[in-house]
Chain A
Amino acid sequence: MSVIANNAAVKNAQAFEPLIVAFCCNWCSYAGADLAGTSRLNYPANIKIIRVPCSCRVNANFVLRAFQRGADGVIIAGCHPGDCHYMTGNYYTRRRFSLLKNLLAYVGIEEARFKVDWISASEGNKFADVMNGVLEKVHKLGPNRKLRDSRWRR
């Protein structure tokens, strides 16, 4: 492979600014994101957070809508199972999105584009790690075209 081609690849990769939508539950993961902030941890600005009361508030519609509107990755973050502010909410999240994750993979969406994780209010570090991890993988995959509404301009 020529040097020039390599450079072009690097250039393209740099030009790609992924968009990641993260749904965070108010009590754990949103607070974890706050803690990441208070601790001045670093993660890329491509990640944008939407606050929901509980991860069980996240509808599959929202996830697909984000992909339709040009998100390159979607994250749902909630309290660890057993620690849900609403006691059992995230147990339902776990079931609902275990199935949705598999279904999305089944129709050909790359697995790395949809991530569900448990991040507590004290896990500012984990928050930054998870965000960085998703972004890194999505960056490798490149822009998402699947599920995307061709009429939508970002």
Chain B
Amino acid sequence: MEKIKEEIRQIAREALTGKKVDIILAWEKGPLWYDSYPAFFTKEEEVDSLTWDSFCINNLSKYLLEETMADKKVGVFVKGCDALAFNQMMQDNRIRRDNVVVYGLPCPGMIDPDKVRAKRLNRGLTEVKQSGDELIFVTKDGEITVPAHEVYYDKCLYCHYPNPVVYDQLIGEKVAAETALDRSERFSQVEALEALSAEERFAYWDSQFSKCMRCFACRNVCPACSCERCTFDDDDLDILGKAREDSEDQFFHLIRAYHVVGRCIDCGECSRVCPQDIPLEKLNRKLIKDINALYGEYQAGLDPSTKAPLVTYQLEDADSFTAGEKGGKGT
């Protein structure tokens, strides 16, 4: 990644000096070891702080919203999941494609700081080096080598699209698309919940939803939540109040999940940014699982020219309510 980082910086500098783009959207290293946050670069000299490491988890595509960027020409770096997000936003007409130069970055996986802390690898951590399937943590206690999959985000272990599905220029070599865990496994947690009784399921979700502070971080980070004005902010329609009231939390979460049906790319960012650790991906994946079962496999963000499952239909579609026909398992 170190080598790629230099390449990225070079590309960014050239793009800016050559006036190919007005802004470069990439990551910048912050003061803390896990801080690789999104940053805008407009001048050549700023590019020295541009970074590319195993903490560049933030999805930059969401920053490309048409209105954010006005008419500026932007160069953006996208990982595999960011590319799916990019396509999804393209499908929703939220990005002006001709204003964007997409630099694709094959992604080996991103490190979950919580897992690093749990393994106490963060003591005076200065650098993380990659060596094949292993990561070398340079810490106060010396260099510690761990298998990469032990510290990567869970979602990275299921990732099927580490290589960007859309780009104008690809940087570096593509990485193997084999997932560390069986991809169908990502539904195992959904299945575990499905196996419970209605009461148990309600108890589980009630305990989760009631943690919600309605900070809307999940919505704000979501590449499928890109509306000009979110329906939850529509004071006139007034479907969601401001009270600490369980039914409002439930309403918010059900409608949020429902609004991204067929558009959720399963990047898991919503769960990652949730300050209350609500497992939102278990809602999203339930819907993805049902779509796959009812209407055939569908990966949002793969091809922006396809019709999302809810804006199309087949005459012979199965449903979940007519007895005797194959439907989604809901009991």
Contact = CB atoms under 8 A, between A and B. Distances in A.
Interface of A: 60-61, 64-65, 68, 81-82, 88, 91-92, 94-111, 115-118, 146-151
A98 B203 CA distance: 23
Contact of B291 (A64, A99, A108): A99
A85 to B, nearest CB: 16
B119 interface: no
A15 to B, nearest CB: 22
A124 to B, nearest CB: 20
B321 A95 contact: no
A127 B327 CA distance: 22
Contact of B200 (A95, A108, A115): A108
B157 interface: no
A147 B247 CA distance: 5
B291 A147 contact: no
B329 A61 contact: no
Q: Could you say which of B190, B247, B250, B331 has the most chain A C-beta atoms within 10 Å of its C-beta?
A: B247
Contacts of A151: 243, 245
A36 to B, nearest CB: 20
Nearest to B194: A106
A107 B205 contact: yes
Given A91-B317, A117-B321, 14 more contacts: A64-B254, A99-B287, A99-B291, A99-B320, A99-B328, A101-B328, A104-B254, A105-B198, A106-B283, A106-B330, A107-B202, A108-B201, A147-B251, A151-B245
Contact of A92 (B257, B261, B310): B310
A99 B251 CA distance: 16
Contacts, number: 130
- Among all A-B residue pairs, the 9 with the closest Cβ atoms: A108-B202, A105-B330, A91-B313, A108-B201, A98-B320, A102-B328, A149-B247, A102-B330, A107-B205
Tell me whether chain A's interface is mostly helix, strand or loop, or mixed.
helix
Tell me whether chain B's interface is mostly helix, strand or loop, or mixed.
helix
Contacts of B29: none
B255 A64 contact: yes
Contact of B319 (A68, A98, A104, A148): A98
Interface string B290-331: 110011000000000000011101110111111000011111
A103 B169 CA distance: 40
Nearest to A65: B239
Contacts of A96: 310
B247 A68 contact: yes
B286 interface: yes
A94 to B, nearest CB: 5
A149 B205 contact: no
Contacts of A97: 319-321
B248 interface: yes
Contacts of A111: 198, 330-331
Interface string B224-265: 000000010000000100010111101100110110010000
Contacts of A107: 201-202, 205, 250, 254, 283
